Amino acid sequence: MNGKQHLNYLFLSLSSALLLWLAWPPHHLGWISFIAWVPLLFLLRLINAQSSRKSLYRFMYTFIALVTWNLLCTYWIKNASVFGAIAAAVIVNGLLMPLPLMLYQWLTRKINPRFHLWCFVAPWLLFEFFHLNWELAWPWLTLGNAFANNLSWIQWYEYTGVLGGSFWILTVNYLIYSLLVQLNEFTVKEKLTQTSIIMLSVCLPFLLSYVVWRNYLLHDAANTKQVQVVIVQPNHDPYHEKFEQPPNLLVNEMLQLSMQQVDSETQYLILPETALTDGIVENDNGNTSQTIQQLKSLLEKFPQLHIISGADTYLFYQDKATATARYSKRGKQWYDVFNTALQLNHGDSVQFYHKSKLVPGVERMPYPRIFGFLEDFAIELGGTSGSLGAQDEAGVFTGLNTVAPVICYESIFGNYVADYVRKGAEFICIITNDGWWGNTEGYMQHCAYASLRAIETRRAIARSANTGISCFIDATGQRSQDTDWWEPAVIKGKIKPDSILTFYVRFGDYIGWLALLATMALLINAKISGNKN
């Protein structure tokens, strides 16, 4: 094995990483994802043909490709924690992502070539499905997210979710790779046939997207319901101002912004994640909270108003009621701390929702017996850091409408957001604090992913960021009134509540389960073939 071969391997490895980065938001180059995996597939083929240390080099060079992709797309994590960037991009994704490719290589040695496409597609889809559903979940780079800025291509996500986009990308890449590999062996007719299959696999989803979009517009035209919403972006520095200034002063600033747009016809006012920082006690329904009283004063002026806000809250117990409860020696009782969304409206009790999808290593220590030593290296991605309590499932706010309160990190989990809709949510309210990441691609990607949730659920979204991008998103994923980075702002608009249940809402990430079945079938096939050999 000579140095030139290693340079070739490195070139192919970094080519895939660069193409995947270019395909990713905030770039509007999703089409590049259709060829981004081709160099990596050729890399694996070359290693198999040239190297005597196949397993080592396959893992090493796929690791280089996938870690580089992670770092290029999510380097901004370092703004909150350098260790966080290493943990998320290298330790977790970097070590896990090569595994489905290693399985692909093993399967292709055992199975008939006509199944090799599925040997590539099914294990990767299973990896993405798994990565959505364990305690170290970090699905930021789920392949289907690549089209977050190409919404006209993927209106069919209401049937498949983002895993459908991942399937599309992987399939087209493998078909192109297969054509290039066998180009010299194919007859002219075979080349035309394979090229036609590739063209159909690319173009048919575009046509399907148009048909689905037109069909949805017919439904939307018949929906005459509207809700007037005001969204506040206070722009408080999360590293200094937000958690150092008196909470009542911060709320006063938000109320002053609100009064620029709130009027007698405004039905919802949305404030961002952890907008209320005075540690609200839920046991007394927030009655001892100064910030709650400030918001109630606004309700006295506008009794028709519903206020949804993020908050830090506490819940006290007489015993250790939950696994996350901590003991206060001073108060001699147990308590939980929550990253909370709450809703206030005139005359009713405060409704609380506790963030369920907690950021690993920040708001929740995954597998604490193993990773407890990492507690000192928390990655600041959300609004609140530390070991937090959580709800077991999604919850909705009731009142004039049924609303999904989605907090920050939760908005990248399609099936979890669909849970709110299954519980009756008529529109979605995303509250977030994207200031932790600085003026980088991070806050842009996070906002772009919200459009995918709108398409999957066919729900309009009101998105309030402490800073970043606050905006309105309609049920086709189109954004309007985007606010600027690091600028206080208040926007007003009308959104349409809806009760339609999409195929994806009804069946969730069924593609992940199909990938599990397909992978199991391939493994059984490989075992049988191996026994025969």
353-373, pLDDT tens digit by residue? 999 998 776 677 676 555 555
pLDDT of residue 74 exceeding 50, the answer is: yes
Question: Could you tell me the two tokens for 257?
Answer: 């912004």
Q: Are residues 165 and 228 in the same domain?
A: no
**φ and ψ of 309, to 5 deg:** -145, 150
Q: What pLDDT is attached to residue 98?
A: 95
Strands (DSSP E) found in 203-247: 227-233
Is there a domain that residue 80 lies in? yes
Q: What pLDDT is attached to residue 4?
A: 85
Is there a domain that residue 291 lies in? yes
pLDDT of residue 193 exceeding 60, the answer is: yes
Size (the chain), residues: 533
Least confident of 75-79, 217-221, 255-259: 75-79
Residue whose entry in the numeric block shows the structure tokens 């849970």: 419
Q: Are residues 168 and 58 in the same domain?
A: yes
pLDDT of residue 325 exceeding 90, the answer is: no
> If you average pLDDT over residues 4-33, what whole number do you get?
96
Q: What pLDDT is attached to residue 361?
A: 66
Are 381 and 387 in contact by the 8 Å Cβ rule? The answer is no
- CB under 8 Å to 342, separation ≥6 — which residues? 276, 280, 286, 308, 309, 310, 311, 313, 350, 351, 352, 353
Q: Are residues 418 and 513 in the same domain?
A: no
Q: What pLDDT is attached to residue 367?
A: 65
Per the model's pLDDT, the better-predicted residue between 328 and 32 turns out to be 32
Over residues 153-182, the pLDDT tens digits come to: 999 999 999 999 999 999 999 999 999 998
Q: Are residues 195 and 239 in the same domain?
A: no
- Give the 3-state secondary structure of residue 268: strand
- Give the 3-state secondary structure of residue 486: coil
Is there a domain that residue 289 lies in? yes
Q: Are residues 314 and 453 in the same domain?
A: yes
CATH of the domain at 324: 3.60.110.10
Are 43 and 9 in contact by the 8 Å Cβ rule? The answer is yes
Band (329; pLDDT cuts 50, 70, 90)? confident
Return the closest-CA partner of residue 293 out of 247, 240, 353: 247
Are 340 and 396 in contact by the 8 Å Cβ rule? The answer is no
Q: What is the mean pLDDT of the chain?
A: 91
- Write the Ramachandran bin of 458: left for phi over 0, alpha for psi from -120 to 50, otherwise beta: left
Is there a domain that residue 456 lies in? yes
Return the closest-CA partner of residue 262 out of 312, 311, 310, 297: 297
Is there a domain that residue 503 lies in? no
Over residues 121-132, the pLDDT tens digits come to: 999 999 999 999
Are 308 and 401 in contact by the 8 Å Cβ rule? The answer is no
> Structural domain tally of the chain?
2
Q: What pLDDT is attached to residue 512?
A: 98
pLDDT of residue 96 exceeding 70, the answer is: yes
Are 292 and 255 in contact by the 8 Å Cβ rule? The answer is no
Are 325 and 317 in contact by the 8 Å Cβ rule? The answer is yes
- For residues 124-145, b (16+ Cβ closer than 10 Å) or e, as one string? bbbbbbbbbeeebbbbbbbbbb
Residue 91 per-residue DSSP state = I
Q: What pLDDT is attached to residue 380?
A: 44
Domain span at residue 350?
224-497
CA 113 to chain centre: 35
Q: What pLDDT is attached to residue 327?
A: 87
pLDDT of residue 45 exceeding 90, the answer is: yes
CA separation for the pair 349, 337 (Å, rounded): 20
Q: What pLDDT is attached to residue 384?
A: 41
> If you average pLDDT over residues 274-294, what whole number do you get?
95
Q: What pLDDT is attached to residue 186?
A: 80
Are 300 and 315 in contact by the 8 Å Cβ rule? The answer is no
CA separation for the pair 309, 88 (Å, rounded): 29
**φ and ψ of 270, to 5 deg:** -115, 125
CA separation for the pair 491, 152 (Å, rounded): 26
Band (91; pLDDT cuts 50, 70, 90)? confident
Q: What pLDDT is attached to residue 128?
A: 98
Is there a domain that residue 502 lies in? no
Q: Are residues 153 and 210 in the same domain?
A: yes
Q: Are residues 229 and 213 in the same domain?
A: no
Q: Are residues 364 and 481 in the same domain?
A: yes
Q: Are residues 190 and 321 in the same domain?
A: no
Is there a domain that residue 314 lies in? yes
Q: Are residues 204 and 238 in the same domain?
A: no
> Rg of the chain over CA atoms, in angstroms?
25
Residue 364 per-residue DSSP state = B
Return the closest-CA partner of residue 515 out of 93, 106, 66, 118: 118
Q: Are residues 290 and 215 in the same domain?
A: no
- Give the 3-state secondary structure of residue 139: helix
Q: What pLDDT is attached to residue 326?
A: 85
State the amino acid at position 355 in one-letter form.
K
Are 47 and 65 in contact by the 8 Å Cβ rule? The answer is no
User: CA–CA distance from 86 to each of 128, 139, 249, 344 (Å)?
Assistant: 20, 16, 37, 40
Q: Are residues 107 and 38 in the same domain?
A: yes
Residue 186 per-residue DSSP state = S
Residue whose entry in the numeric block shows the structure tokens 């709108």: 454
Over residues 469-487, the pLDDT tens digits come to: 999 999 999 999 999 999 9
**Dihedral, CA atoms, 518, 524, 526, 528, nearest 10 degrees?**
-150
Is there a domain that residue 285 lies in? yes
